[in-house]
């Protein structure tokens, strides 16, 4: 395994470790896994239900999420119907369970027609018994689709968090990202979100955009802060294979990497404005609602993903549909999803089976990269062993002052947080890494 010092020399932006193992490590499973038996062996008292809607008004140049821009209306309708069927099937497979967190993401779920959105909320309520009004429940929206009518349906259903992609308030930077300029729509949508009383507004911004300077980034941050969002996500730009920007970069070559300087500027601006840093990307405002209720704990609990492109996590198996980025691949995978017989949703066919070592590694990665860090006692209670015995490489973090160990909690320092996209990939096991390296992007 490469030392952390060596990894750091390879650059601060190696990969976003938002899930472990990464979806590019998933493969066809040796045989289909029956979901009812799989979930029967899990703690189903604190589950996260996630619905994926892989449609957007346009396909942004930077985006490698599983999403299709400008889909045909009949595909969107067929997808909604199929997703309702899948929700019913998964609800049956889960049996007795309790959902403590709910989200509908994408893509852009607000691309759906108001009536289609309402159908999905009803299906979640009916088949999964999600009490949307009582559990933390979020939706991802783009500015132009976040219409008053759709937002009202979300608010009536009980959605309490709206997350909107803005990326930049500077038109020239949106052009560099191959995303339409829409400041007026952003302002209008935020006005509607506020008028309807959603407790949490999150805005996404990107840094490291070609042509972006520290001054223009601060300008975007100031524009965002004027709306007092309860949360703000700051994403470093990654130019990935099969995306519009990926193709442009192949022709023009790689631009100078300005991300670390911009990150430090943005982080300090948000800290000065009173925001708390939760992870490398996430900042929370002092006026954000308290996180109460039965807490979903991502490193411990199950995730039930529905819709094409959604991932599901049990302790020992992570599964999803196939994954693609290029338009033709996404379209083909969506076709297969829409045409699948309803009973096919009773099985998992593609994913990653975690052994005991991977399960522990996942717990460490998920906890360490988020404030307040890795609770060594909670780890020992869960696995019956010590995190530093299982992963002795963690000592390197302390030696390099990227993390501190106080009262049995291993927490990233400011420098560690800035290097989360190096630390995450460094913690990937050789087996998972080998799978990721042999994944053929499509």
Ligand X SMILES: C[S@@+](CC[C@H](N)C(=O)[O-])C[C@H]1O[C@@H](n2cnc3c(N)ncnc32)[C@H](O)[C@@H]1O
| Residue 255, C-beta contacts closer than 8 angstroms, at least 6 positions apart | 210, 249
Site stretch for ligand SF4 (CB under 6 A), options 39-47, 101-109, 307-315, 347-355: 101-109
Nearer of residues 82 and 163 to ligand X, judged by Cβ: 163
Name which of ligand SF4, ligand X, none residue 238 binds, using a CB cut-off of 5 to 8 Å depending on partner kind: ligand X
Q: How many residues are given for the chain?
A: 442
Strand ranges (DSSP E) for 261-353? 276-277, 282-284, 303-306, 311-313, 317-320, 347-353
Verify binding: residue 106, ligand SF4, rule CB under 6 A.
yes
Write down the least CB distance from residue 160 to ligand SF4, Å. 21
Q: Which is nearer to ligand X, 80 or 108 (CB)?
A: 108
Closest to ligand SF4 by CB, 65 vs 391, is 65
The answer to whether 42 and 157 have CB atoms below 8 angstroms apart is: no
Whole-angstrom Cα distance, residue 310 to residue 305? 5
Q: Is 212 in the site for ligand X (CB under 6 A)?
A: no
Interacting span for ligand SF4 (CB under 6 A) from 11-19, 59-67, 366-374, 394-402: 59-67
**Which one of ligand SF4, ligand X, none interacts with residue 59, CB within 5 to 8 A by kind?**
ligand SF4
235 binds, among ligand SF4, ligand X, none (CB under 5 to 8 A by kind): ligand X
Residue 418 touching ligand SF4 (CB under 6 A):
no
Name which position in 25, 38, 56, 333 contacts ligand SF4 (CB under 6 A).
56
Nearer Cβ to ligand SF4 (14/142): 142
**Alpha-carbon gap, residue 149 to 202, rounded angstroms:** 19
CA dist., res. 63 & res. 237, Å (int): 10
Using CB under 6 A as the binding rule, the residues of this chain from 108 to 127 that contact ligand X are 108
Classify the C-alpha dihedral 79-330-282-439 as positive or negative: positive
Minimum CB distance to ligand SF4, residue 224 (Å)? 16
Contact window for ligand SF4 (CB under 6 A) among 4-12, 60-68, 119-127, 255-263: 60-68
Q: Does 60 bind ligand SF4 (CB under 6 A)?
A: yes
Distance CA 257, CA 262 (A): 10
Structure tokens at 118: 């309402």
Q: Taking contact as CB under 6 A, which single stretch among the options 153-161, 231-239, 365-373, 387-395 is the one that binds ligand X?
A: 231-239
Question: Should residue 206 be labelled a site residue for ligand X when binding is judged by CB under 6 A?
Answer: yes
Cβ 429 to ligand SF4, closest distance in Å? 29
Contact 406, 396 (CB under 8 A): no
Instruction: Tell me which of ligand X, ligand SF4, none is bound by residue 206, counting a contact when its beta carbon lies within the kind-specific cut-off of 5 to 8 angstroms.
Output: ligand X
- What is the enclosing helix (H) or strand (E) of 410? strand 409-412
Q: Which is nearer to ligand X, 106 or 307 (CB)?
A: 106
CA–CA distance, 262 with 264 (Å, rounded to integer): 5
Binding to ligand X (CB under 6 A): which residues in 34-73?
A: 56, 62-65
Residue with Cβ nearer ligand SF4 (129 or 327): 327
Residue 229, interface with ligand SF4 (CB under 6 A)? no
Do 87 and 306 meet the contact criterion of CB atoms below 8 Å apart? yes
The CA–CA distances, whole Å, from 407 to 93, 176, 377, 411 equal 41, 46, 10, 10
Residue 59 binds to ligand SF4 (criterion: CB under 6 A): yes
Shortest distance in whole angstroms from residue 56 CB to ligand SF4: 3
**How far apart, in whole angstroms, are the C-alpha atoms of residue 122 and residue 100?**
17
Query: Binders of ligand X among 247-286, rule CB under 6 A?
Result: none
Binding map of ligand X across residues 130-169, x = CB under 6 A, - = no contact: ----------x-x---------------------xx-x--
| Strand spans (E) along 80-230 | 99-106, 137-141, 161-167, 200-207
Orientation angle between helical segments 183-195 and 148-157, nearest 10 degrees: 30
Size of site (CB under 6 A) for ligand SF4: 11
- Strands 200-207 and 374-375 come out as unpaired
Which residue, among 104, 94, 99, 91, has the nearest Cα to 46 in the 3D structure? 99
CB 232 to ligand X: min, Å: 11
Whole-angstrom Cα distance, residue 231 to residue 204?
Answer: 9
Please report, as ranges, the residues that interact with ligand X according to CB under 6 A: 56, 62-65, 105-106, 108, 140, 142, 164-165, 167, 204, 206, 235, 237-238, 240
Which positions touch ligand SF4 (CB under 6 A)?
A: 56, 59-60, 63, 65, 67, 106-108, 142, 165
């Amino acid at each position: 395994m490469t030392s952390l010092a060596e990894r750091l020399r390879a650059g601060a932006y190696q990969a976003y470790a938002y899930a472990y193992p990464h979806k590019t490590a998933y493969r066809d499973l040796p045989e289909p896994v029956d979901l009812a038996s799989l979930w029967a062996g899990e703690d189903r008292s604190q589950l996260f239900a996630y619905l994926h809607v892989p449609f957007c008004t346009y396909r942004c140049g930077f985006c490698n999420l599983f999403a299709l821009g400008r889909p045909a209306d009949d595909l969107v309708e067929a997808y909604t119907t199929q997703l309702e069927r899948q929700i019913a099937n998964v609800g049956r497979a889960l049996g007795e369970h309790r959902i403590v967190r709910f989200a509908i993401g994408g893509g852009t779920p607000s691309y759906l027609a108001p009536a289609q959105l309402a159908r999905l909320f009803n299906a979640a309520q009916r088949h999964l018994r999600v009490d949307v009004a009582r559990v933390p429940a979020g939706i991802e929206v783009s500015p132009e689709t976040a219409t008053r009518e759709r937002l009202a349906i979300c608010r009536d259903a009980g959605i309490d968090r709206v997350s909107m992609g803005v990326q930049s308030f500077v038109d020239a930077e949106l052009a560099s990202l191959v995303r339409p300029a829409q400041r007026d729509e952003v302002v209008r949508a935020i006005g509607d979100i506020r008028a309807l009383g959603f407790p949490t507004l999150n805005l996404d911004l990107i840094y490291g955009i070609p042509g972006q300077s520290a001054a223009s980034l601060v300008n975007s941050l100031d524009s965002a802060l004027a709306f007092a969002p309860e949360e703000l996500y700051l994403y470093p730009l990654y130019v990935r294979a099969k995306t519009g920007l990926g193709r442009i970069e192949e022709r023009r070559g790689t631009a100078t990497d300005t991300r670390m300087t911009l990150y430090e500027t943005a982080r300090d601006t948000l800290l000065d404005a009173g925001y708390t840093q939760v992870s490398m990307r996430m900042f929370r405002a002092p006026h954000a609602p308290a996180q109460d209720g039965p807490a979903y704990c991502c490193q411990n609990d199950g995730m039930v993903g529905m819709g094409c492109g959604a991932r599901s996590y049990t302790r020992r198996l992570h599964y999803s549909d196939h994954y693609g980025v290029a338009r033709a691949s996404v379209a083909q995978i969506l076709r297969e999803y829409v045409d699948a017989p309803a009973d096919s949703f009773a099985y998992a066919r593609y994913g990653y089976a975690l052994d005991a070592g991977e399960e522990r590694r996942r717990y460490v990665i998920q906890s360490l990269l988020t404030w307040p860090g890795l609770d060594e006692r909670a780890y020992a209670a869960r696995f019956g062993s010590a995190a530093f015995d299982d992963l002795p490489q963690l000592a390197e973090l302390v030696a390099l002052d990227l993390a501190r160990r106080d009262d049995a909690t291993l927490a990233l320092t400011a420098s560690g947080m800035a290097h989360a996209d190096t630390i995450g990939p460094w913690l990937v096991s050789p087996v998972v890494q080998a799978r990721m390296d042999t994944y053929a992007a499509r």
